[in-house]
A and B are shown apart, each in its own frame.
Chain A
Amino acid sequence: MIEITNEAWQTMVEHAEATYPNECCGAMLGSAVDGKKSVTSAIKLRNAFSGSQDARYELKPEDLLEADRAAREQKLDVIGIFHSHPDCDAYFSETDLKNSCPWYSFVVLSIKGGKFDHANSFLPDWEQTKADKEELIWPKS
């Protein structure tokens, strides 16, 4: 189970809506206790995909390294990665799966017509062959 606090969620939705019609990406920081993950802040990261970004994203390892440093400074952990799917649902695509990493939760935000629609969280396996859905709780306003 992964729960996202209001402040982190606002950053994520704001980033996803502002990046529309392209995909956004970022890191989620927080802590995990007994399998219960809590995301307390989010960091917007740059989509480094060099082609059209309306259906692809890529995180630069050095940006992720930077996010990891920020987490260390705040005594938090990098819990997961988020990205958006403009004008389609929040599924975990084959592209998402093939380029994922089992260390993190992957939250996908569906943005339709520039506005947040829904979200899901996924836990990819070691070999990038499948991802399980994870219970996701975000502040409903």
Chain B
Amino acid sequence: MAKILIPTALRQFTEQTDSVEVNGSTVGDALQSLTEKFPGIRKNLFNDQGKLRSFVNVYLNDEDIRYLDKDATKLSGGDTISIVPSIAGGSAPVSEAEEITLSSEELARYDRHLILPEVGMEGQLKLKAARIALVGAGGLGAPLGLYLAAAGIGQIGLIDFDTVDVSNLQRQIIHGTRDIGRKKLDSAAEKMQAINPHLKIEKYDVALTSENALDILRDYDMVIDGTDNFPTRYLVNDACVLLKKPNIYGSIFRFEGQATVFAYEDGPCYRCLYPEPPPPGLVPSCAEGGVLGILPGLIGIIQATEAVKMILGKGTTLKGRLLLYDAMNMRFRELKLHRDPACPVCGDHPTVTKLIDYQEFCGLRQPPPVPADGIDAIGLKEKLDRGDDFVLLDVREPYEYQIARIPGSRLIPLGDLPKRLNELNINADTVVHCKSGARSQKAVDLLKQSGFRQVRNMTGGILSWSDKVDPSVPKY
């Protein structure tokens, strides 16, 4: 005996009863027995050839019989059979997905996917129909681009305006030594196309901004954030919330990485986690703080995995969970995230309803780029050439000093400065530098608070010195 639940629309054929007890050893028998009892229902379930109509799904308890033994699925006592129509649609003309097919070359290429029940032909066609926007072709973008291309994603929009620098190669494995100086877009697209010629790549040689983000991202199903700065992170987040596109997030720093999925279904967004950006300079970038070259590989691949699962509609995503990875101790941890009803973007009463100025939001418009008490590389060179009597204080770490230094500088790492103030003359004309100008600004603030009167920050740091004054000083 099994019980068949009758959907409301069909109760007119079953004398208004909402469930019917039937006999039979298989699902097919049970349905047969139902139509014998109530002949009027037959036309609703079966076509003229006696096959289940295309819109009819039959569930045994909570399982679709298509994934069991179909009609031959065995029944045991107390089973419940449900009849559920499959319904879809949309304003779009019959979707490209329905016309997309796989060539024999593609069938061979994706063989190891096709034999996975969770992917199969249906899943591989979904991957081919998918359109992903990938923001950044750098550390995270490298593994993302390579694996998404290999997996058979149909269309990838690549957004990057940078060129390949030798210091990228320690981690951005999509680029090679011969690509130095090339557009990252061209270098990355070439490698991805070499892996998979079926992939369509749209190249956007721009920085993502409040002006262009909605127009660019609108055409994609999901966005993967592979950027490393706060303004772009907030921009991508807000654009995704406004466009209702999922944002697959990853970030890396030194030996630690994070990944999650934002703005997906009813889950949280980046602003639910971090409503405000950190004060400028507090969190160093990878250029400032360093990063283990292998780290973005792992985090990027986690992002790629989430993208593929979301396209397939299988598995459990990182929605509502922030995955924390600690490479040094090889540990993964998870934090629970919740959508904040008071979130300014995705909350119940959003106050941010269009894209804003993210440089300003992140405090990067003020102070102005060259502070009044600053001196740039050219100014410092002139000062040295004039033979001025002053102290050039380098507040970087000793290992950085070994890589590159400005002649005549004196090294006191920022962390040591408070206890070594007595080594400096409070009245001396002092210029402080670091790698790019962030740490030295902190040192200048500290020195001023301690009574130093003539202290200036060298803007742009030793990187700027190498660019503008002495190219023989190595950049790192």
Residues of A within 8 A of B (CB): 19, 21-23, 25, 46, 48-59, 61-62, 64-65, 68, 71-72, 76-79, 81, 83, 85-86, 88, 91, 93-104, 106, 126, 128
Tell me, in angstroms, the Cα distance from A98 to B8 when the chains sit together: 22
Contacting residues, chain A, for B7 (C-beta < 8 A):
68, 78, 103
Q: Is the beta-carbon distance between B89 and A21 smaller than 8 angstroms?
A: no
Q: Is the beta-carbon distance between A83 and B93 smaller than 8 angstroms?
A: no
Q: Is the beta-carbon distance between A77 and B91 smaller than 8 angstroms?
A: no
Contacting residues, chain A, for B244 (C-beta < 8 A):
19, 21-22, 53
A83-B90, A99-B88 given; A65·B82 CB < 8 A: yes
Name the residue in A46, A68, A79, A126 with the highest tally of chain B Cβ atoms < 10 Å from its Cβ.
A68
Q: Number of B residues whose C-beta is below 8 Å from A?
A: 46
Residues of B within 8 A of A (CB): 5, 7-11, 18, 43-44, 53-55, 57, 59, 62, 64, 82, 84-95, 97, 126, 129-131, 218-221, 243-245, 265, 310-313
A52-B221, A56-B89, A95-B90 given; A61·B64 CB < 8 A: yes
Tell me, in angstroms, the Cα distance from A19 to B242 when the chains sit together: 10
Contacting residues, chain B, for A71 (C-beta < 8 A):
8
A-B contact pairs, 28 of them (CB 8 A): A21-B244, A50-B311, A51-B97, A51-B130, A52-B131, A52-B245, A53-B244, A56-B90, A58-B87, A59-B86, A59-B87, A59-B88, A65-B84, A68-B82, A77-B9, A78-B7, A79-B8, A81-B87, A85-B90, A93-B90, A95-B89, A95-B90, A95-B91, A100-B87, A101-B86, A104-B85, A128-B54, A128-B55
Tell me, in angstroms, the Cα distance from A76 to B8 when the chains sit together: 8
Complex: chain A residue closest to B43, CB-CB: A126
Checking B5, B11, B93, B221 against A51 with a beta-carbon cut-off of 8 angstroms, the contacting residue is B221
Complex: chain B residue closest to A68, CB-CB: B7
Q: Is the beta-carbon distance between B43 and A55 smaller than 8 angstroms?
A: no
> What's the nearest-Cβ distance from chain A to residue B219, in Å?
8
Contacting residues, chain B, for A81 (C-beta < 8 A):
87
> What's the nearest-Cβ distance from chain B to residue A107, in Å?
12
Tell me, in angstroms, the Cα distance from A77 to B18 when the chains sit together: 10
Q: Is the beta-carbon distance between A51 and B85 smaller than 8 angstroms?
A: no
Checking B87, B94, B310 against A50 with a beta-carbon cut-off of 8 angstroms, the contacting residue is B310
Q: Is the beta-carbon distance between B9 and A104 smaller than 8 angstroms?
A: yes
Contacting residues, chain B, for A61 (C-beta < 8 A):
57, 59, 64, 84-86
Q: Is the beta-carbon distance between A51 and B131 smaller than 8 angstroms?
A: yes
Contacting residues, chain B, for A48 (C-beta < 8 A):
313
Tell me, in angstroms, the Cα distance from A68 to B5 when the chains sit together: 10
Tell me, in angstroms, the Cα distance from A63 to B55 when the chains sit together: 15
Contacting residues, chain B, for A85 (C-beta < 8 A):
90-91
Contacting residues, chain B, for A101 (C-beta < 8 A):
55, 85-87
Contacting residues, chain A, for B312 (C-beta < 8 A):
50
Contacting residues, chain B, for A72 (C-beta < 8 A):
8, 18
Q: Is the beta-carbon distance between B91 and A23 smaller than 8 angstroms?
A: yes
Complex: chain A residue closest to B96, CB-CB: A51
Checking A25, A49, A93, A99 against B93 with a beta-carbon cut-off of 8 angstroms, the contacting residue is A93
Q: Is the beta-carbon distance between B313 and A64 smaller than 8 angstroms?
A: no
Contacting residues, chain A, for B92 (C-beta < 8 A):
55-56, 93, 95
Q: Is the beta-carbon distance between B18 and A95 smaller than 8 angstroms?
A: no
> What's the nearest-Cβ distance from chain A to residue B46, in Å?
11
Q: Is the beta-carbon distance between A55 and B55 smaller than 8 angstroms?
A: no
Checking A50, A76, A100, A128 against B313 with a beta-carbon cut-off of 8 angstroms, the contacting residue is A50
Contacting residues, chain A, for B59 (C-beta < 8 A):
61-62, 65
Checking A21, A64, A94 against B85 with a beta-carbon cut-off of 8 angstroms, the contacting residue is A64
> What's the nearest-Cβ distance from chain B to residue A118, in Å?
14
Contacting residues, chain A, for B126 (C-beta < 8 A):
50-51
> What's the nearest-Cβ distance from chain B to residue A90, in Å?
9
> What's the nearest-Cβ distance from chain B to residue A18, in Å?
10
Tell me, in angstroms, the Cα distance from A3 to B7 when the chains sit together: 21
Checking A57, A62, A78, A88 against B89 with a beta-carbon cut-off of 8 angstroms, the contacting residue is A57
Contacting residues, chain A, for B311 (C-beta < 8 A):
50-51
Checking A46, A77, A88 against B265 with a beta-carbon cut-off of 8 angstroms, the contacting residue is A46
A51-B126, A51-B129, A126-B43 given; A62·B62 CB < 8 A: yes
